[in-house]
Amino acid sequence: MLLSRYKKTRMSPSPLSIPVMMSVVVLILISLMPTQSSSSSPTLTITPRSLKKSGDTVLIEWSNVSSPSSLDWLGIYSPPDSSHDCFIGYKFLNSSPSWASGSGSISLPLNNLRSKYSFRIFRWTQSEVDLTKLDQDHNPLPGTSHLLSQSKPLGFTAGRGPEQVHLAFTDEESEMRVMFVAEDAEKRYVRYGEGEEEMDEVAVARVERYEKDDMCDAPANSSVGWRDPGWVFDGVIKGLKKGVRYYYQVGSDSKGWSKIYSFVSRNEDSDETVAFLFGDMGTATPYSTFLRTQDESISTVKWILRDIEALGDKPAFVSHIGDISYARGYSWLWDQFFAQIEPISSKVAYHVCIGNHEYDWPLQPWRPDWAKTIYRTDGGGECGVPYSLKFHMPGNSSEPTGTRAPATRNLYYSFNNGVVHFVYISTETNFFPGSSQYNFIKHDLESVDRNKTPFVVVQGHRPMYTTGNEKRDAPMREKMLEHLEPLFVKNKVTLVLWGHVHRYERFCPLNNFNCGSMGFSGEKWEAFPIHVVIGMAGQDWQPIWAPRADHPNDPIYPQPQRSMYRGGEFGYTRLVATKEKLILSYVGNHDGEVHDMVEILASGQVLNNGGAGGSMGSVTAGSGAGVEVAESKFSWYVKGASLLILGTFIGYVLGYFSRTKKANALGKTWTLVKTEDT
């Protein structure tokens, strides 16, 4: 009975059961169809999950990115909870060779920002490109509307010790200042001694910090630019012997110690002075960011480090005259800069003066009418605060900011180093007669003991003289010529070094645009200051030279008689002086060799008109002449390799002519595939 009823029902289905059955069939078919599993979604992984120190590398890998686009990009974030548009930097996925497959990898060295990192992949479409949101190179900043994947956080291991170590002279010859950054304010120390196993002396480091509200403008005080700057520690090593190598490290037992560094203490009694001088270096980043960064700074650091190591146990120092990190309100670029220079700044004192990109902002206290087009927003809202706290130069110069920000420091100061008296000035704050700075410069230059330090070198950021096409700064140059040049001429300053213009240019001995005779032909000579522009250490925006006045739009840039040498090669200068003679050499970054040189006697007479020559190896005291340049092993290796290449080239040329001769003998000719006309 039940069976017959079932059969009857199957044989005669009701109209309502047909849709139901169809739905069941459809559901069964759908369930049997292959589905996209979660494993096919874009994935983003990092290896390792923890780094030991700044500069260590993380491997970032991704896969399963469907329909890859050349606009897909990787965002770098710190802290990990930053909003999408507040990235540290970015890399396009197509920088990986395998990106078109939807998978790839990027390796990035990262600096410790005292906060964890994370990474995110975004899809950015051509229709979403916003030409109103550009980086400094006028490229659109990538859009963040479509997040594809996000990594787990990446951190740095604890107990690694402080970082960003840099040295500076104090007002006492027997001292050396040591500064560094840590993640908290817990007490840190500097321990030191004359041997790695003899670091028995200890100095307590004082600590300072600045906050977001101390910044004066955007982006420095905005969520895009601000990051935790950490705590800045400042310790002073005392009781140093003259010209002795000391070993030191920074940190604490509870928080960890840095690696061991060393330096050679200064010796004002020395008959020799060595310094490396430049401006406008900046820093390089392994990723793109909101601002243009300075890749050439890598070479500058490399060659200076070579020269420092070649010196052995001779003391030296670095002079960086303005436009230091080019952070301009993006905090992490300061961290990048200090990590990059640490191989140098942990070995020798690193001295600075302030530039427009550390300080300028619209409401700065000293902004006379003639300077309204000069002092603009170049500081990115920092108003000198990071510069003032991250460095501590000799003297106690400062000017109030007029805001809750701490006073701006490190404006003007001086010190003796061997046979040279070095003076640093600020072109961004008041230098008019009656100002604190003017009074300092005047008194300082008048007080120099030329028997002890026969050479005087003044340094500032914006140049008094340049043949670069820098029209905007012309009113400032006029004021400097009016108020400062008479002090330099009267007190027989030897050299005046400037940055700001990103080229090298050396002038004749100058007084109000007039060249003093240099006595090359036995005529009477005049000891006027020699001005040199040395802003070529890294920033890659290069102003053109001033064109002809009667043809301003034609690409001809005559070199005035007062300009003895000028060039666009990135690099730095090296100063070597004895009691008798000072030599300033311009070293190019592409080869590490000297491209220009000027020699000045203690009397002020110029011995030569410069030009290329010499190699940058270790510099030793010579007999009679005072200084000679000895070639390093590196130079010999380069020359040896050059000879091999030259020999190979000559062999190739000879072989070519031999083959051509044979081909012609057989009646064969060559047919050019492409000519210059095509």
**Least confident stretch, 16-25, 303-312, 365-374, 375-384:** 16-25
Q: What local confidence, expressed as pLDDT, does residue 22 receive?
A: 52
Residue 7: pLDDT over 60: no
If asked whether residues 139 and 213 sit together in one domain, one would say no
What share of the chain has pLDDT > 70, as a percent?
Answer: 84
Q: What local confidence, expressed as pLDDT, does residue 542 receive?
A: 73
Kindly indicate the confidence band of residue 501, based on its pLDDT and cuts at 50, 70 and 90.
very high
> What is residue 581's three-state secondary structure?
strand
If asked whether residues 54 and 185 sit together in one domain, one would say no
Q: What local confidence, expressed as pLDDT, does residue 591 receive?
A: 96
Last residue of a domain, one of 547, 573, 607: 607
DSSP per-residue codes, 656-672: HHHHHHHHHHTT-----
Q: The tokens of 646 are what? A: 């030259």
- Which among 598, 595, 560, 568 has a CA at the least distance from the CA of 581? 598
Q: What local confidence, expressed as pLDDT, does residue 545 receive?
A: 86
Residue 132 inside a domain? The answer is yes
CATH number at residue 186: 3.60.21.10
Q: For residues 537-566, give the mean pLDDT.
A: 87
Report how far Cα 403 is from the mean position of its chain's Cα atoms: 28
Residue 631 inside a domain? The answer is no
* Cβ atoms within 10 Å, residue 41: 13
Compute the distance between CA of residue 610 and CA of residue 532 in angstroms, rounded to an integer: 12
Residue 575: pLDDT over 60: yes
Report how far Cα 149 is from the mean position of its chain's Cα atoms: 32
Q: For residues 401-427, give the mean pLDDT.
A: 96
**Least confident stretch, 236-245, 406-415, 547-556, 609-618:** 609-618
If asked whether residues 169 and 127 sit together in one domain, one would say no
If asked whether residues 370 and 244 sit together in one domain, one would say yes
> What is residue 311's three-state secondary structure?
helix
The alpha carbon dihedral of 320, 326, 332, 336 has a sign of negative
If asked whether residues 57 and 80 sit together in one domain, one would say yes
If asked whether residues 280 and 321 sit together in one domain, one would say yes
Q: Model confidence over 111-169: pLDDT tens digits?
A: 999 999 999 999 999 999 999 888 887 889 999 999 999 999 999 998 889 999 999 99
Kindly indicate the confidence band of residue 641, based on its pLDDT and cuts at 50, 70 and 90.
very low
Cβ–Cβ < 8 Å for 309, 263: no
Q: What local confidence, expressed as pLDDT, does residue 612 receive?
A: 56
User: Which residues does 124 contact at the CB level (< 8 Å), separation at least 6?
Assistant: 69, 71, 72, 73, 142, 143, 145, 146
- Which among 192, 191, 167 has a CA at the least distance from the CA of 341? 167
Residue 594 inside a domain? The answer is yes
Q: Model confidence over 47-76: pLDDT tens digits?
A: 999 999 999 999 999 999 999 999 999 999
Residue 617: pLDDT over 80: no
Residue 572: pLDDT over 80: yes
> What is residue 480's three-state secondary structure?
helix
Structural domains counted in the chain: 2
Q: What local confidence, expressed as pLDDT, does residue 522 receive?
A: 74
If asked whether residues 471 and 566 sit together in one domain, one would say yes
Q: What local confidence, expressed as pLDDT, does residue 34 receive?
A: 42
If asked whether residues 336 and 464 sit together in one domain, one would say yes
Q: What local confidence, expressed as pLDDT, does residue 571 receive?
A: 98
Kindly indicate the confidence band of residue 207, based on its pLDDT and cuts at 50, 70 and 90.
very high
User: Which residues does 99 contact at the CB level (< 8 Å), separation at least 6?
Assistant: 68, 72, 93
Residue 606: pLDDT over 70: yes
Residue 569: pLDDT over 50: yes
Q: Model confidence over 78-97: pLDDT tens digits?
A: 999 999 999 999 999 999 99
Q: What local confidence, expressed as pLDDT, does residue 191 receive?
A: 98
Q: Return the amino acid letter for 216.
A: C
Q: What local confidence, expressed as pLDDT, does residue 178 receive?
A: 98
> What is residue 184's three-state secondary structure?
coil
Domain with 151, as residue range(s), is 43-156
Q: What local confidence, expressed as pLDDT, does residue 666 receive?
A: 29
Is residue 235 within a helix (H) or strand (E), and if so which, with residue range?
strand 231-237
Last residue of a domain, one of 134, 156, 178: 156
Last residue of a domain, one of 584, 607, 630: 607
Kindly indicate the confidence band of residue 615, based on its pLDDT and cuts at 50, 70 and 90.
very low
Phi, psi at residue 677, to the nearest 5°? -75, -15
User: Which residues does 469 contact at the CB level (< 8 Å), separation at least 6?
Assistant: 543, 544, 545, 546, 547
Q: The tokens of 458 are what? A: 């003044």
Residue 630 inside a domain? The answer is no
Residue 133 inside a domain? The answer is yes
Cβ–Cβ < 8 Å for 84, 120: yes
Kindly indicate the confidence band of residue 665, based on its pLDDT and cuts at 50, 70 and 90.
very low
Please give, one letter per residue, the 3-state secondary structure of 486-527: HHHHHCCCCEEEECCCCCEEEEEEEECCEECCCCCCCCCCCC
The alpha carbon dihedral of 76, 77, 83, 86 has a sign of negative
If asked whether residues 243 and 320 sit together in one domain, one would say yes
CATH number at residue 117: 2.60.40.10
Q: What local confidence, expressed as pLDDT, does residue 471 receive?
A: 86
- Which among 616, 532, 610, 622 has a CA at the least distance from the CA of 272? 622
Q: For residues 220-239, give the mean pLDDT.
A: 98
Residue 331 inside a domain? The answer is yes
If asked whether residues 146 and 172 sit together in one domain, one would say no
Kindly indicate the confidence band of residue 674, based on its pLDDT and cuts at 50, 70 and 90.
very low
In 419-503, the DSSP E strands lie at 420-424, 455-460, 495-498
Average pLDDT in the chain: 87
Q: For residues 631-648, give the mean pLDDT.
A: 40
If asked whether residues 78 and 190 sit together in one domain, one would say no
Q: What local confidence, expressed as pLDDT, does residue 677 receive?
A: 30
Q: Which long-range contacts (CB under 8 A, 24 or more apart) does 140-148 make?
A: 141/290, 142/71, 142/73, 142/75, 142/90, 142/92, 144/75, 144/84, 144/85, 146/122, 147/84, 147/120, 147/121, 147/122, 148/42, 148/65, 148/72, 148/121, 148/122, 148/123
Residue 623: pLDDT over 90: no
If asked whether residues 196 and 121 sit together in one domain, one would say no
Residue 7 inside a domain? The answer is no
Q: Model confidence over 162-197: pLDDT tens digits?
A: 999 999 999 999 999 999 999 999 999 999 999 999
Q: Model confidence over 437-490: pLDDT tens digits?
A: 999 999 999 999 999 999 999 999 999 999 998 889 999 999 999 999 999 999
Residue 645 inside a domain? The answer is no
